[in-house]
Amino acid sequence: MAEITIRADSADPAGLEAPPLARTRVQRVLWVLWPAFLVAAVAELLFFALFDPSDLRLFGVPLDVARMPVYTLGFFAFWALCAASGALTVFLQRSPFEVNRCPLEPTDRPVGCPKRESGDCSGTCH
């Protein structure tokens, strides 16, 4: 029988907690998609309160489609536009730390990198 030991000092003994970088990416995606969903619902209600789907034309040709698919496509189009706007906002509000952060682990950084943990500069340090 295998014995399982759980360290008392570990905040996540099962190892199920996402790493901080992955967690912040998920949070940012949700920060974009959830408000975009709500705004898209309101935008669709307002748009289709003013325009009947059977009266819409695409390049001058009347749409020969039932109303439900037009409502669905309209919602997803509004959601995509709102999500693109939110994603651009989240992208542009990044901190200098996030913009300048090295994507490599300290031990994987090239020799000569001033932030490499090993301290080996191979003659490039002054």
- Per-residue pLDDT tens over the stretch 83-126: 999 999 888 887 777 777 777 787 788 887 777 765 444 444 44
pLDDT, tens only, 31-61: 899 999 999 999 999 999 999 988 888 898 8
Buried b (16+ CB within 10 A) or exposed e, 15-31: eeeeeeeeeeeeebeee
What pLDDT is attached to residue 20?
A: 65
Mean pLDDT of 24-35: 88
Burial degree of 78 (CB within 10 A; 0-12, 13-18, 19+): buried
Q: Decide: 78 and 40 in contact? Cβ < 8 Å.
A: yes
pLDDT band at 19 (very low <50, low <70, confident <90, very high): low
Hey, where are the domains in the chain? 23-95
pLDDT band at 15 (very low <50, low <70, confident <90, very high): low
Cα dihedral 75, 76, 78, 79 in deg (nearest 10): 110
What pLDDT is attached to residue 77?
A: 96
What pLDDT is attached to residue 2?
A: 56
